[in-house]
Amino acid sequence: MTTEAPKKINRVVVRWDGDHRFDGSRLGSQQTIRMDADAVTGPGPVDTLLCALAGCTAVDVVDILEKRRTPVQGLSIEVAGERANAVPARLVRVVLTYKMRGAGIERVHAERAIELAVTKYCSVRDSLDPNLAVEWVLELEC
């Protein structure tokens, strides 16, 4: 008899707020994120997906460098998502530009942390089409 670990289930709810505005939250939480397909009151759904990809990899990068005892002092990630000229206009290429600073962070270790985050640890990336090209660039300021 094989005993499987219980599956982790994320539960969210998305509520319509008129026009193309939607507020999403973890089920039972009061914390919300705004999605606006018209990009007036918040990022659109695809922009939100790109933010989730950047945020997911960022958590891993920060954790990996913290374990190396070279903590990140500043990090921003600019994301460019190229979309197909078709309906639906799915993502066909993503470029993540990591702008990082921290005393003692060596480029080789920062690059390795990003590589591991993007290719191994990020559950958002792993949930996307494996054929989606995800590239990254590091701008390191020590």
Q: Is the predicted pLDDT of residue 1 greater than 80, yes or no? A: no
Asked whether the CA dihedral 99, 24, 30, 38 is positive or negative, the reply is positive
What confidence tier does 48 reach under pLDDT thresholds 50, 70, 90? Answer: very high
- Tens-place pLDDT, residues 121-138: 999 999 999 999 999 999
Question: Could you tell me which of 20, 15, 18, 19 has the C-alpha nearest to residue 33?
Answer: 15
Residues 6+ apart with CB under 8 A from 66: 72
Return the CATH number of the domain spanning residue range 45-141. Answer: 3.30.300.20
Q: Cα–Cα distance between 140 and 110 in angstroms, integer?
A: 8
- The percent of residues in the chain predicted with pLDDT above 70, rounded, is 98
Tokens standing for 89?
Answer: 């206009």
Q: Is the predicted pLDDT of residue 77 greater than 90, yes or no? A: yes
